Amino acid sequence: MAEVRAEIDALDRAIVALLADRLHYIDEAARIKVSRDQVRDDARIADVLGRVTAEAHRLGADGNVVAAAYRSLIEASILHEQEAFDRRLSR
């Protein structure tokens, strides 16, 4: 069990590093967008969920788990981007 947990911990570190990169690009999107209304893009959300679910299936992973994780990630990312957009306007 210790080996399994060590591997999961290593994956978690890699995932956090990738999420940090993703947040960098979300900050860039907040910088580029001219309207706060552009932050939530339902068509883009559907596209991302479709692509990550398909990729999960391609890899033999549970697409429902991946889609659920991404739904949470997307909602948290939208909140982050809205806050970044608001900070930019308040400067």
The per-residue pLDDT for range 23-50, each reduced to its tens digit, is: 999 999 999 999 999 999 999 999 999 9
The per-residue pLDDT for range 45-88, each reduced to its tens digit, is: 999 999 999 999 999 999 999 999 999 999 999 999 999 999 98
Provide the whole-model pTM: 0.91
Q: For the chain, which residues make up each domain, given as ranges?
A: 2-90
CATH of domain 2-90: 1.20.59.10
Checking if the pLDDT of 91 tops 80, the result is: no
List the helix and strand counts (H, then E) for the chain. 3, 0
Checking if the pLDDT of 90 tops 90, the result is: no
Calculate the alpha carbon distances from 4 to 10, 15, 55, 83 in Å.
10, 16, 24, 37
